[in-house]
Amino acid sequence: MVKNKLISKITTDKLAIIVNKSFESQTKLIVDGFDNINKNFESVNENFKAVNKNFEKVFGLLKVMDDKLEYVGSIKHRVDYIENVLNIQSIKK
């Protein structure tokens, strides 16, 4: 009988207020959780941008190296061509 008296003292308005506060706090927790997830994704996105910039630098350097190797290779072919045309032998040979 005591339980029934306690339950009967809670009105529907009070119960609605309790439920509403519970929903508000749960909603706030969910929103805060999504905000934290969003901040983490923003951080990851910034890290990927930094990595992308580094890759761009590396690929730029690789292209420069490739161009220089191609140039050096063409010099070797030019020397070989001149040696063959002039019919001379290289000191290294």
User: pLDDT per residue over 20-60, tens digit each?
Assistant: 999 999 999 999 999 999 999 999 999 999 999 999 999 99
Measured distance CA(37)–CA(63) in Å, rounded: 38
- Residue appearing with tokens 């040696």: 83
Mean of the per-residue pLDDT values of the chain: 86
Whether residue 79 has pLDDT greater than 90: no
Residue 19 one-letter amino acid: V
Measured distance CA(3)–CA(35) in Å, rounded: 42
Q: Could you tell me the two tokens for 60?
A: 């730029």
